[in-house]
Amino acid sequence: MTAKIAVLAPRVADQIAAGEVVERPASVVKELVENALDAGAGAIRVAIEDGGKALIRVSDDGEGMGREDAELALARHATSKIRDPADLIGVATFGFRGEALPAIASVARFELETSPDGRAGTRIGVVGGKRDAVADAVRQRGTTVTVRALFFNTPARRKFLRAQATETRAVVEVLTVLALTRPDVAFTLTSDDRALIDVPPAAGQTDRVRALWGAELADTLLPVAHCAGPLEVRGFAQRPAQARPAGRKGYVFVRGRPIRDPFILRAAEAGYRSTIAPGDRPSLILFLDLPGDAVDVNVHPAKLEVRFREKFFVEKVVEEAVRRALGPLAAAASLGVGGQGSGGAWAGVGVAIPSGGAQELFPVEPLTPGTRPLAPLLQVFDTYLLFQTDSGVAIVDQHSAHERVLYETVMRQLAGDGAPAQRLLLPLTVEFTPPELDAIEAHRELLRRVGYEIEPFSGRTVVVHTAPNPHPRFDAARCLQELVADLAGGRFGGWANRLERFSATFACRAAIKAGQRLELEEMRELVGRLLTATLPAHDVHGRPTIVQLPKDELERRFGRS
């Protein structure tokens, strides 16, 4: 009987390994650049032709290799990063399986040039997995790998490669991600002699982001920095006002390694709860650092996925980190060229900061002879409130600000005993459509908790006995009609949490409107309550409640700087 099982020939095994590691030209670039970073490179140059299908060349100034190591590097399962099974726990390098170079060499015309000292160099050529003679080479310290005619000997796989522009974009994306991991390293990428990426070493992540994508994106990002237990989360989260349904950038790095993890990004987006409209997607760049034994990086052939020992803890901390980043008033949008806002200078609104904080700066009670001077408040266009801060001018949108304040108030009320209601001397009778009556019945308890006591009357009419009173200009009947219409029509249907959806809908309808003139005490109360809110810089739609005009920008406009 003929045996059905046979050991694969080395060449076939190499091509199978290549299928795991080398999916397209961008995969080759990723593996080679990761090797260069592991070799301590301070500058990495990548050149491609025809999207990488014709040529990929990666040069670095890293430590290079002697002849013996260069030959071993082309053997399967040969690596400088792992010696025994214990080394797989907490491996800190990018590459460690020892498959990349032989896998690439098995499906391309491959050449390796390397030198450890700038004097004695080695050149090794491989064609479709078959090694040519080893020769001497002259090059500076470092390594150059040249890959030509990718998949020339596996035409079926070559047919699956995309158009030149598509493959080029994939290479750009790979190098961009790796450039984010190491701002201290210079990266260049040329495509058919056209420069696509050219970033010098940067002092930090902010400068690297600015170099890669420009100030237009960088100035919309807020710093993230949060620790909980063994996990540290750093990076950037986009201001809610700049979040859009499409075009977002989402990157996650674990122990310096770029990974694909939609659950981490989803947890980060949960931190935007009640600050962006449903469907908007903020840009996120997050770096997670935790002990090596808390994460397994050896779960994906291309090392693009990891497994956390405590997955739900990691997701919870990521959500908290983003939430905290959005909380300070420094997260408010900025007018002018400054971009990153005025830091924490909000605390000194016009006067020396008291121990009581914002409520003491904007007291609700009438002024007395012993009261300290207040920061000047000005309403313009019956819509915006202006006041001076230590570092510029703050402009508050009164509707968005009140919407944020009411949202947080209603969320507390719904979790507690409800809001104080005002019993109406003359109960209201309001008519609704059948779907709206269904919405009232479905939300009857929530309506009661915000202050509406409703009972059926006849047909499509209900009687309203009590109503909330969030401000003197509140129109109880109109707010109820708009609130119920929104609930029936699903206008806020993208909210995952029913209480949050209801609170956001009520806050939107009950808040002070643009165009309503406010008394000075009302302005003080509103700004004071906003400055003590959990997320004061954004309303429930993602619009800013406050924008900043930095003093530096004013001085620049008037020629004082």
pLDDT in tens, 134-169: 999 989 999 999 999 999 998 888 989 999 999 999
The answer on 276 and 184 residing in a single domain is: no
Q: How far apart are CA 409 and CA 416, in angstroms?
A: 11
Q: How far apart are CA 439 and CA 457, in angstroms?
A: 16
The answer on 299 and 154 residing in a single domain is: no
The answer on 314 and 341 residing in a single domain is: no
The answer on 256 and 337 residing in a single domain is: no
| pLDDT at position 313 over 90 | yes
Q: Which of 527, 245, 233, 204 is nearest to 340 (CA)?
A: 204
| pLDDT at position 245 over 80 | yes
The answer on 336 and 321 residing in a single domain is: no
* Tokens representing residue 424 in the block: 């109406």
Concatenate the DSSP letters of all residues of 191-215 into one string. ETTEEEEEE---SSHHHHHHHHH-H
Q: What is the pLDDT of residues 210-238, one digit of tens each?
A: 999 999 899 899 999 999 999 999 999 99
The answer on 284 and 256 residing in a single domain is: yes
The whole model's pTM is what? 0.80
- For residue 17, name the pLDDT band (cuts at 50, 70, 90): low
Ramachandran area for residue 27 (φ above 0: left; ψ -120 to 50: alpha; else beta): alpha
Q: In what order do the strands lie in the sheet containing 453-458?
A: 422-431, 461-467, 453-458
The answer on 480 and 344 residing in a single domain is: no
Lowest mean pLDDT: which of 176-185, 369-378, 387-396, 519-528?
369-378
- The size of the chain, in residues, is 561
Last residue of a domain, one of 295, 326, 357: 326
CATH number, domain at 264? Answer: 3.30.230.10
Q: Which of 325, 308, 324, 209 is nearest to 263 (CA)?
A: 308
The answer on 163 and 229 residing in a single domain is: no
Q: Is residue 5 part of a domain?
A: no
Domain containing residue 278: 220-326
- For residue 28, name the pLDDT band (cuts at 50, 70, 90): very high
CATH number, domain at 380? Answer: 3.30.1540.20
Q: What is the pLDDT of residues 46-93, one digit of tens each?
A: 999 999 999 999 999 999 999 999 998 888 766 655 444 444 445 455
Q: How many CB atoms lie within 10 A of CB 28?
A: 28
Q: Which of 558, 561, 549, 554 is nearest to 345 (CA)?
A: 549
Q: Is residue 291 part of a domain?
A: yes
Q: How far apart are CA 282 and CA 258, in angstroms?
A: 19
CATH number, domain at 126? Answer: 3.30.565.10
The answer on 499 and 524 residing in a single domain is: no
Q: How far apart are CA 541 and CA 492, in angstroms?
A: 10
| pLDDT at position 344 over 50 | no
| pLDDT at position 368 over 70 | no
Let me know how many helices (H) and strands (E) the chain has, helices first. Answer: 18, 23
The answer on 184 and 146 residing in a single domain is: yes
CB 126 within 8 A of CB 119: no
Q: Is residue 429 part of a domain?
A: yes
Mean pLDDT taken over the chain? 84
Residue 303, pLDDT score = 59
| pLDDT at position 462 over 70 | yes
Residue 336, pLDDT score = 59
Q: What is the pLDDT of residues 442-453, one digit of tens each?
A: 999 889 989 999
Q: Is 137 exposed, middle or buried (0-12, 13-18, 19+ CB in 10 A)?
A: middle
User: Phi and psi dihedrals of 495, rounded to 5?
Assistant: -75, 135
Angle, helices 498-510/398-415, rounded to nearest 10 degrees: 140
Number of domains in the chain: 4
What is the separation, in whole angstroms, between the first and last Cα of the chain?
A: 91
Task: Count CA atoms closer than 13 A to 541's CA, side-chain side.
Answer: 14
CB 261 within 8 A of CB 306: yes
Higher pLDDT, 353 or 111: 111
The answer on 34 and 167 residing in a single domain is: yes
